[in-house]
Every structure is written in structure tokens, then in C-alpha cells.
Amino acid sequence: MAPREHDTTRSGLLFGFGAYLIWGMLPLYFLLLAPAGPFEIVAWRIIWSLGFCAIALTATRGWARLWALVRRRRILFTLAGAGILIFINWQTYVYATSSGQVVEAALGYFINPIVLVFLGVIVLRERLRPLQWAAVGISIVAVVVLTIAYGAFPWIALTLAFSFGLYGFVKKQVGGEVDALSGLTIESAWLVPVAVVELIVVGTTGGGVVFGTAGAGNTVLLVLAGVITAVPLLLFASAARRLPLVYMGLLQYLTPIIQFIIGVAVEHEQMEPARWVGFIVIWGALVLLTIDLLRASRGSRRAFTRP
């Protein structure tokens, strides 16, 4: 590897590790926001994300680039769809972490790579390789096992997996035209009316705290929720530009591993034997996907270097 390529890969790994580490630690952060409830947290997360984006756009002189994108209706409404999907993802995730269901949230992000493969077949009409088919089939078995173990359908995990998977597919439609900061700004702007409605409903029903009345610490943490939202997305975008797909594919497992540890070791969530079986089956499917990813990566490199 050339020195310049080595430096690019190393910086990409640092950016990617930072993004997935922050995402993995988010359950602990959201727990610190109590007594604010999940709907209130997501509302302020949207509002302060937009505020952070405005500051970042000013610092990077990105307003002209943003306005150019806003004038393109296809991009504007595509990002509106992306905003709806990420809102569903955020709301489900914060609800899960604040209601003691961090392990099921982790399950959602373990399932996510398999969902992406599944969506590739349904949406993009892709043909799966044998190991990918095996991973999808095994994951379906795991969902059945977990449904029996829970005594209920694991809707949190599947909502997280499919909402984030579909979000990625929608973003991919404009990925070459929209930078990470401009995309997050437009998505947040679309969601601000939803956030305002949430705050009004929570305030009138007594379901949360009035901003600034739960102490200075709580207020600061709610404001910083915007930073915590935007920073890992920007780190992820920087990593994706520098790293091969195989590196990103392996790094993505860091987030649910951290979440799983938090759920079991910190939150002391119950892990019955049947639940362990379901997770082990999912991990087996991920091993197959990883092997397939590594094989495909080696094959593409050989094809690239062949004279």
C-alpha cells in the first residue's frame, strides 16, 4: 500500500470507528436526558441538529451549495422521504433505550446488514450469492425463534432494521449529488414541523418537562443532542469516502456489539436461553455475510489487478 493510500485508510478507519463508537454509546446518553421522554428527546434532537448544521454550514461556507440543492425538486423531496424514515428510526430507537429495551435495539442493528441484502433483492432486483441466500434464510429462522422467546413479535428490532435500511436506499438515490452536511440539514428542516407538533402535544398532555426547567445539566445535554446526532453522520460520510466497502462492512458491527453489552451489563436486561439462541443464530448469519463480503472483495481486487 502506498504511503498516501495508507494514510487515507488509517484516517478513514479512525473516522469510521468514531462514528460507530458514538452510535453504540447513544443509549447511555439518552438515559442521561431523563426526565425528558422519548418524544421530547427526538423533537429537541431534530431542532438542535438543524441548529448545529446551520453553524457548520456557516463555518464551511456551504450555504451556496445547500441553496443549489434546495432548488432541485427531485433532491428536495427525496430527502423529505429520507427524513421520514430517519425520524421513524430515531423515535423507535429512543423509545427502546428509554424503556429498557436496548438489547432489542441492538438486535435491530445486527439484523440491518441482512435487511440490506434482502432489500437489494426486492428493490434493486439483485441476484444473491449462495452465502447471502443462506444468511437471509438463517435470519428468518432467528426472527421466528426470537418471536417465540419474546412471546411477541420483535417489532422494535425490525422497525429499526428496515427503517435504517430503507433510509440508506433512499439516500443512495442522491448520494453522488448531496454531501452529508447538506443532506442532514435538509432532512432536519423537513422534520422541524413534526418536532414542534411533538413538543406541543407533550407539553399539553404533561408527558415531559418544559425545556430549561429540569436543571442546567439537562438543558445542556438536550442542546448537545443535536451535536451527538450530526457528528457521527459526518464522521461516517468521511469514512465512507476513504475506506473500501469491506472495511465499512466490518466496522458496522461495532455499534450493535456496544449496544448489546450496555443492555446486558449496564441495564441488566433479561437474556433467557431462547433469546440467546436467537442472537446466536443471527450472529451465525452475520458470519456468513462477512465471509461472503471478504470473498467478494478479494475477487474484485484480483479482477482489478488482472492484466
DSSP 97-135: HHTT-HHHHHHHHHHHHHHHHHHHHHTT-PPPPHHHHHH
Number of domains in the chain: 1
Model pLDDT, residue 3? 55
The reported pLDDT for the residue numbered 208 is 65
Residue 141's pLDDT is what?
83
Give the range of the structural domain holding residue 112, as residue numbers without chain letter: 3-305
In 10 A of CB 240, how many CB atoms?
17
For residues 281 and 141, the answer to whether their CB atoms sit within 8 Å is: yes
Name 219's Cβ contacts closer than 8 Å, sequence gap at least 6: 211, 212
The set of cell numbers assigned to 214 is 429540569
pLDDT of residue 298: 66
Question: Which residues of the chain are under the pLDDT cut of 70?
Answer: 1-7, 124, 150, 206-214, 245-246, 297-307
| Cβ neighbourhood burial of 299 (10 Å; 0-12, 13-18, 19+) | exposed
Residue range 202-223, pLDDT digits in tens = 888 766 666 656 677 888 888 8
Asked if 106 contacts 259 with a C-beta cutoff of 8 angstroms, the reply is yes
Say what the pTM is.
Answer: 0.85
Average pLDDT, the chain: 84
The whole-number pLDDT of residue 47 equals 93
Identify whether the C-beta of residue 254 lies closer than 8 Å to the C-beta of residue 21.
Answer: yes
Give me the pLDDT at residue 306, please: 41
Distances from the Cα of 277 to the Cα of 172, 270, 271, angstroms: 34, 13, 10
